[in-house]
Amino acid sequence: MFVPFKEILKDAYSNKYAVGAFNCLSLENAMGAIQAAEELRSPIIIQLAEVQFPYSPMEKMAPVFIESAEKASIPVCVHLDHGQSLETCVRAMKLGFQSIMYDGANLPLEENIRNTKEIVRIARALNVDIEAELGKVGNANSEQDNVSDIFTDVDESAYFIKETAVDALAIAIGNLHGKYVATPQLNIERLQEINNRNRLPLVLHGGSGTSFEDFKSCIHNGICKINVATAIQIAVTNKLEKYFKTVSNPNYIDMKYQMVEASKEAVIEHMLLFESNGKA
């Protein structure tokens, strides 16, 4: 069933767990993710990022997401991850996405605020919720000189939230996008400061390689949504590799089944970690 983003996050915030937001690039990913959520009785966010449109076009994936959400027996939110322009965000709203992440984190603060405000204004009229980002989430595959320079600033977070009135804020506390080479160390102290100041649901991007301890500290200190993309892709790739190695007569239907299973397993693993099981 469709449940608004804000409501899903509000419950997570009050009960100190996080809802997994899983990037689904295919029908198999979406099927596996929803099956996992139903099996664990967990709320779930299924999402797609703008950079993924070349191989998983939003217009083609939207009907899959929306039908999955409508038919599911647990709360589902259909979300646009990393919308890079006003145009993309509005297109997603028109397609029926219930919440949008507008990513202006690479822009100067005032420009990020200006753009986010404009998107919030349109979203309010259409009953769509908004996530924005402040600070820079790095990329696991690129070199960074001083990671602390890009952490979300506490004062800036309060100013940004007051100006934009967003429903959730993605923060940078040492988390990285992509497949980690080494497990990152998150700045939990900074997270606590941001949480104490704002009391707004916070979002952690780059949830594919964070340590068990850091995940636990995050969900108990205001992180209500954790994005997981790479972990599903790795799980599917590994499962298929094993399938082709062990099965003498591979066929396409079996292969599709393996893809759904691998997606489901990866989602289950993260939901248990985020403690969202039994919360639906």
Catalytic residue numbers read: 81
Residue span binding Zn ion (CB under 5 A) among the ranges 1-9, 161-169, 178-186, 197-205: 197-205
| Residue 79 interacts with Zn ion (CB under 5 A): yes or no | no
What is the total count of residues that contact Zn ion (CB under 5 A)?
Answer: 1
* Number of alpha carbons in the 13 Å side-chain half-sphere of residue 276: 34
Q: Report, in angstroms and rounded to the nearest whole number, the Rg of the chain calculated over CA atoms.
A: 18
Least Cβ distance, residue 190 to Zn ion (angstroms): 18
| Residue 205 interacts with Zn ion (CB under 5 A): yes or no | yes
Residue span binding Zn ion (CB under 5 A) among the ranges 35-43, 65-73, 138-146, 202-210: 202-210
Least Cβ distance, residue 137 to Zn ion (angstroms): 6
| Residue 225 interacts with Zn ion (CB under 5 A): yes or no | no
Least Cβ distance, residue 244 to Zn ion (angstroms): 31
**CA-based torsion, 147, 53, 75, 277: positive or negative:** negative
205 vs 239, which CB is nearer to Zn ion? 205
Least Cβ distance, residue 227 to Zn ion (angstroms): 5
Report the 3 state secondary structure along 101-143: EECCCCCCHHHHHHHHHHHHHHHHHCCCEEEEEECCCEECCCC
The answer to whether 236 and 256 are in contact (CB under 8 A) is no
User: In this structure, what token pair is assigned to residue 23?
Assistant: 């990037």
Dist. CA 225–CA 92, nearest whole Å: 20
205 vs 270, which CB is nearer to Zn ion? 205
Give alpha helix (H) positions in 170-249: 188-198, 212-219, 230-246
23 vs 195, which CB is nearer to Zn ion? 23
Question: Could you give the string, one character per residue 149-188, with x where binding to Zn ion holds by CB under 5 A and - elsewhere?
Answer: ----------------------------------------
- φ, ψ of residue 226 to 5 degrees: the values are -125, 125
Residues of this chain that interact with Zn ion (CB under 5 A) are 205
